[in-house]
Structure 1
Amino acid sequence: MIPGTVWGATEAEREAPLPCDDRQPGGLQADRAISVDAPPTLVYAWLCQLRVAPYSYDLLDNFGKRSPRRRDPMLTELVVGQRFMSQFELVSFVLGRHITLVSGKVCVTYAVRPEGTGTRLLVRIRCGAPRLVAVTLALGDLLMMRKQLLTLKELAEAEYHTAPADSPGPPER
C-alpha cells in the first residue's frame, strides 16, 4: 500500500465501487473513512456545506476565513455544475447517498452509508496525474481530508445530539 492512500477505510470499503471510479479510471486511488454518530441524512446535509467552505485547515485552504459552524439547509439543493470548495465542480449526486466532484485530473466521491444507528462516511479520491505527482497529492490530501472529516463528524454529531425535543433528534437511549 502506498503511504497516504488510506485513512480509516476498511479493505471492503477500499474495494467497493464508487462513482469516481468510472469518471477517473486508473491512476492513484486514495480512500478515507470515518464513523459518525448521526443519521445519514444529517451527515449528507453537512457534506453539502462543502459548497461554501472546505471545513479543513481554514488558514491554509479557506484564506483564513472560518468555515461556517451552522448548517444552511438551502445548500442541500444540488444541481450538476455547482462549485464546491471553490475549485471542484459537482458532476453527479444521489440525494442522501453521495456527491462526486471533479477538478482537473482529480475526481472525489463522498458517500454516506448507514452504520448501526449512525453513519459511515467514505471518501475516495481518484487522481489521473503522473504517479509521483499523485502520490505527493495523496500525502498532502491525507492531512487536509483527515481534518475535514473530523470537523464534519464533530459538527454533525453536535447538531444531532443537541436537536430540540420537537425535531428529529437523537433516539431515546
Structure 2
Amino acid sequence: MGGLPWRWGATPEEAARDYPADSTLGVPVRRLTRAVDVAAPPERVYRRLCQLALAPYSYDWIDNRGRRSPRGLVPGADRIEVGQVLMRTYAVTAVEPGRSWTGIMLPRLARVFGPTAVTYAAEPAAAGTRLVCRLALGQRGPLDRVRGRALAWADVVMVRRQLLTLRALAEGDGRAGRKSLDEEW
C-alpha cells in the first residue's frame, strides 16, 4: 500500500479496499489509490466524474491538446455506457450509475504503459463525498513493474490535479476560504 507514488490522499482503508479495476485485467496488479474529500453530495460528484467522457480535467496543456476542459456540466455527458471511451484513454467495462465507472486502457496505450484498469468512485462520506480513483497496473513481469513505477509517478501528479479540479467544480468555484488548486500540494 505504501505512500507516494502508490497512495495520495487515500486512507489506509481505501487503499486496502477492493475496487472493480482490481479484478478487471485478469492478471496480478499493483494498486494505486488517490482520493479527496468533496463537500458536495455523491450524486453531484458522480455527475462531475461523468464529465471525464469529454476531457481529462487535469493539466489541459498536456493531456487535452491545450483545450480547456469544460467547466459547466454538458447535457448528456452523465450517460456513461459500457464500451464508451473516456479521456481518449479508457474503454468503460462497468458502470454503477450514481456511484462509479470502471475502464480498461485502450490497447494502443497499454502497449506503452502496460495493462491498466481504472475505477473512479463517488463514495458517501460524513462531510459529503470521498472521490476515489483506483488505478490497477498489470504486473506480468519485470517490464510491467518498471513501467508501473514510472506511470505511478506521472499518475500521482496528473490525477491529483484532476481530482482537485473535479472537487472544485462539484463544490462550486469561488467559494470563500477554499484553497486554490496550486496551494493544495
Q: Give me the TM-score of the superposition, normalised by structure 2.
A: 0.83
1:1-173 alignment, distance < 5 Å: 1=2, 3-24=4-25, 25-103=27-105, 104=110, 105-128=115-138, 130-158=144-172
Secondary structure at 1:146 match in 2: helix
Secondary structure at 1:136 match in 2: helix
Residue-by-residue CA offset, 1:100-140 (whole Å, 9 max, x unaligned)? 01113110001111112410111110011510110100000
> Cα RMSD over matched residues?
1.4
Say whether the 8 Å CA contact 2:51–2:74 is kept in structure 1.
yes
| Residue range with higher mean Cα deviation, 141-150 or 21-30 | 21-30
In structure 2, give the amino acid aligned to 1:48: C
Extract structure 1 runs of 4+ deviating beyond 4 A.
none
Residue-by-residue CA offset, 1:75-105 (whole Å, 9 max, x unaligned)? 1112100110012111101001110011131
Residue-by-residue CA offset, 1:24-79 (whole Å, 9 max, x unaligned)? 34222100000000000000000000001000000000000000000113111121
Say whether the 8 Å CA contact 1:27–1:131 is kept in structure 2.
no
In structure 1, give the amino acid aligned to 2:169: L
Distance 1:11 1:101 in 2: 23
How many pairs were matched up? 160
Q: Give me the TM-score of the superposition, normalised by structure 1.
A: 0.88
In structure 1, give the amino acid aligned to 2:128: G
Structure 1 residue 3: deviation in Å?
3.4
